[in-house]
């Protein structure tokens, strides 16, 4: 499947880190880009076993490869179907979800896992119906230890009972061990791979690392694929293609 999206790297990544990810699904809901996000959503639904917890993590091999843009829009597609969804920003070293949804970063995953906030304080409503977020919170000194704790596993179990979908934005696999820990605790993982930017060897290393922890890899999403027939959508999103591979 093909998804029109971002062509250029630095401008997009700098803007995402500064202002959060562009919510194309919300601002251009009938655009081809938004429709392709919905196609990915449908594929994920068919990939998750019935009666299984629906915890899906999104990662990449390296930083600045578009995973936060992808997961923020994906979360909106689940929510728009009336399915109660929560997006967790587990990339605690470089959180962006609070910027994307314009909410406070005072309490979130880091404060909850360290015991400095309770669950109600750590979950925030967004302007998107049926979508809550747990932001990254203040950058902790020990992200990997927090993710590897029983408190994190218990958190996922609790949220799986309260939400139909739990989506987790993880750190890049090759940059932090957190991603592998999260993938192992998820029911499925998707790897975002930007064409022309991601190094094949680094993607292979990331996949092998996920396999070592027995993570269920649902597939890969290729973004920033240049195509002459792609139509621009204005601003800093437009052109390019976003494709999805199974394995």
CA atoms within 13 A on the CB side of 139: 6
| DSSP H or E segment with residue 153 | helix 150-162
Segment 190-216, tens digit of pLDDT: 999 877 676 789 999 999 999 999 999
Residue pLDDT, tens place only, 164-174:
999 999 999 99
Domains of the chain: 2-245 (3.40.50.300)
Integer Cα distance of 4 and 86 in angstroms: 25
3-state DSSP assignment of residue 86: strand
- Per-residue pLDDT at 236: 25
Beta carbons of 3 and 33 less than 8 angstroms apart: yes
Tell me how far apart the alpha carbons of residues 21 and 192 are, in angstroms, rounded to a whole number.
15
Residue 230: per-residue pLDDT: 36
Token readout for 30 is 């009938």
233 has a pLDDT exceeding 50: no
Supply the pLDDT for residue 215: 96
Neighbour-count burial of 81, counting CB atoms closer than 10 A to its CB (0-12 exposed, 13-18 middle, 19+ buried): middle
Residue 237 has what pLDDT? Answer: 28
List phi, psi (to 5°) of 200.
-55, -40
Q: How far apart are CA 190 and CA 108, in angstroms?
A: 23
User: pLDDT tier at 155 (50, 70, 90 boundaries)?
Assistant: very high
Q: Taking residues 156-160, what's their average pLDDT?
A: 97
For residues 105-117, give the mean pLDDT: 98
| pLDDT at residue 127 is higher than 60 | yes
List residues bridging with 3 in a β-sheet: 242
Average pLDDT of the segment spanning 106-110: 98
Lowest average pLDDT, out of 29-38, 93-102, 106-115, 221-230, goes to 221-230
pLDDT greater at residue 176 or residue 36: 176
Q: CA-CA distance, 69 to 13, in Å (whole number)?
A: 9
Per residue in 16-69, pLDDT (tens digit) is 445 667 888 888 888 888 888 898 899 999 888 776 789 999 999 988 888 998
DSSP state of 72: H
């Amino acid at each position: 499947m093909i998804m029109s999206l971002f062509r250029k790297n630095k401008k997009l990544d700098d803007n995402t880190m500064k202002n959060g990810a562009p919510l194309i699904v919300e601002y251009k809901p009938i655009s081809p880009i938004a429709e392709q996000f919905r196609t990915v959503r449908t594929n994920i639904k068919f990939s998750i076993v019935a009666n299984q917890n629906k915890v899906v993590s999104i990662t990449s091999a390296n930083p600045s490869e578009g995973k936060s843009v992808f997961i923020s829009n994906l979360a909106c597609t689940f929510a728009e179907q009336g399915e109660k969804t929560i997006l967790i920003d587990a990339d605690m070293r470089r959180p962006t979800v609070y910027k994307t949804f314009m909410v406070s970063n005072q309490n979130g995953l880091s404060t909850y896992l360290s015991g400095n906030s309770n669950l109600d304080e750590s979950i925030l409503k967004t302007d998107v119906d049926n979508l809550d977020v747990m932001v990254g919170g203040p950058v902790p000194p020990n992200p990997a230890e927090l993710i590897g704790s029983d408190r994190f596993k218990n958190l996922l179990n609790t949220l799986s009972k309260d939400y139909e979908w739990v989506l987790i934005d993880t750190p890049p696999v090759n940059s932090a061990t957190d991603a592998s820990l999260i993938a192992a605790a998820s029911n499925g993982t998707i790897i975002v791979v930007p064409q022309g930017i991601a190094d094949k060897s680094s993607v292979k290393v990331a996949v092998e690392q996920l396999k070592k922890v027995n993570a269920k890899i649902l597939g890969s999403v290729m973004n920033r694929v240049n195509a002459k027939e792609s139509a621009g959508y204005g601003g800093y999103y437009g052109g390019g293609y976003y494709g999805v591979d199974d394995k």
